Structure 1
Amino acid sequence: MIDKVFEKSIKKQFEFDEDVASVFDDMLNRSIPFYKQMQELTINFALNHLDKDDYVYDLGCSTASTLIELGKQSNFNLNLIGIDNSSAMLARAKKKCKAFGIDIDLKNEDLLTTNYDHAQLIISNYTLQFIRPLQREKLIKKIYNALNKKGIFIFSEKVISNNKVLNKQSIDIYYDFKKTQGYSEYEISQKREALENVLIPYTDEENKKMILDAGFTHFETIFKWVNFATYIAIK
């Protein structure tokens, strides 16, 4: 379905409810620049660090698109686990897994309390930004502890700049991108208002510090477009 969630007046903060879940795949492709390319990079790096029967977790898996693609492109068995606290998203994910014939263990659980041990790979695409800063650092430490030695964490985030001028320019470029995807000024404004104080982005430097403080030995940016970035961290 086509994303028209913000064509009407929004009177609540953004949440991953049925309205959003029903159009989420379209929303991702039209709201996140180079989303498909980012997903392909994630899968490419992932497959180079995985072996048969390894455990892979996607935190905030939404409709399970990344795990489904990983399952399709892997030529060996993987234990794929998707975790999300939105029942609407997981209902969509379940239907997609069945349609593509990919076996994924979908869990409706809280990322901060559920267990994901013995992981070789943990993915988190545009999820951390929705977690409050104090809890975010606790989650990163939990992710570190859950990974095997030399395990990897791949995550994507919307980011901000410490430079006010560059930050404003980045936002303007991003809004121009959204207009090219068919979103109106009104829709862009409505979504921005709904996400205020819900989506809290970090700078590249803050993301790096958070990762290294948790104990990871390596942090690297593998993709960047203005104010969107994909990172890889190695335990």
Structure 2
Amino acid sequence: MNDKVFTKPIKKQFEFDEEVAAVFDDMLERSVPFYKESQKITKFFVLKNLSENGIVYDLGCSTASLLLNINRDLECKANLIGLDNSEAMLARAKRKIEAFGADVQVELGDILEYEYKEADAFISNYTLQFIRPLVREKLIKKIADSLKKEGVFIFSEKVISHHPKLNKDLIECYYDFKKEQGYSEYEIMQKREALENVLVPYSEEENIKMALENGFSHCEVVFRWANFATFIAIK
């Protein structure tokens, strides 16, 4: 289904409700530059670091598209677990999992409070930016503590620049991309207002610093387009 969420006036902050869940896959592909490519890179590193009977957690799994893609290419037995706090997203995820007959588990839960088992890999696709900065570092430490030695955390985030002009130009570049995907100026403005104070991005440097100060030995960017980046952090 095509994303038409912001073609009408929005009177509330952005939330992952049924209306968004219904069009979320289309929204991602049209709103996130090179989304499929970043997902391929994420899948590559997950599979490279996955051991027999290992565990992978996808934090904010939405409709479970990435876990389904990973499941298709598994070469060993593994536990693929998706967590989300949106019932609407998980309802669609469960339908997709059932349709594909996939061995993927999804759960309704708070990723800040969930009791994780020792895992080979964690994934977070544009999820951290929705976590309040005051508790974001606690989540990163919890992820690091739950990983095996040399386990990986692959996360994608919208990023900012602390150079005012460059940051403005990056945003303009991104809006040009959205227009090329068929979004109108009105839709772009509406979504920006709905996300105000809901989505709080860090810079590339701040994301790396956060990982290094909370249990990871190394962190770097493996993919970037303008103000969108995919990171890998190694315990």
Interval containing the TM-score (normalised by the shorter chain)? over 0.9
User: Aligned pair 1:221/2:224, yes or no?
Assistant: no
- Paired residue secondary structure (1:110): coil
Instruction: Write out per-residue CA displacement over residues 148-185 of structure 1, whole angstroms, 9 at most, x where no aligned residue.
Output: 11110000000000101100000000000000000000
Aligned residue number for residue 9 of structure 2: 9
Aligned residue number for residue 65 of structure 2: 65
Counterparts of residues 129-208 of structure 1 (less than 5 Å)? 129-208=129-208
1:117 and 1:143 mapped to 2: Cα distance?
A: 10
Of residues 73-82 and 162-171 in structure 1, the stretch that sits farther from structure 2 once superposed is 73-82
For structure 2, the residue ranges without an aligned partner over 5 or more in a row are none
Instruction: Write out per-residue CA displacement over residues 30-53 of structure 1, whole angstroms, 9 at most, x where no aligned residue.
Output: 000000000000011111111221
CA contact (8 A) 2:145 2:215 kept: no
1:117 and 1:220 mapped to 2: Cα distance?
A: 25
Segments ≥4 residues shifted beyond 6 Å: none
Aligned residue number for residue 116 of structure 1: 116
State the 1:24 CA deviation. Answer: 0.2
Aligned residue number for residue 80 of structure 1: 80
Q: TM-score, normalised by structure 2?
A: 0.99
1:85 and 1:154 mapped to 2: Cα distance?
A: 20
Aligned residue number for residue 49 of structure 1: 49
- Paired residue secondary structure (1:157): strand
The aligned length equals 235
2:189 and 2:92 mapped to 1: Cα distance?
A: 27
For structure 1, the residue ranges without an aligned partner over 5 or more in a row are none
- Paired residue secondary structure (1:214): coil
Instruction: Write out per-residue CA displacement over residues 110-159 of structure 1, whole angstroms, 9 at most, x where no aligned residue.
Output: 01101112111000000000000011011001101111111100000000
Aligned residue number for residue 95 of structure 2: 95
1:127 and 1:14 mapped to 2: Cα distance?
A: 14
- Paired residue secondary structure (1:36): helix
1:79 and 1:215 mapped to 2: Cα distance?
A: 23
1:172 and 1:101 mapped to 2: Cα distance?
A: 42
- Paired residue secondary structure (1:93): helix
- Paired residue secondary structure (1:50): coil
1:185 and 1:116 mapped to 2: Cα distance?
A: 42
Q: Percent identity?
A: 64
- Paired residue secondary structure (2:157): strand
State the 1:102 CA deviation. Answer: 1.1
- Paired residue secondary structure (1:187): helix
Q: What is the Cα-based RMSD across aligned positions, in Å?
A: 0.6
- Paired residue secondary structure (2:213): helix
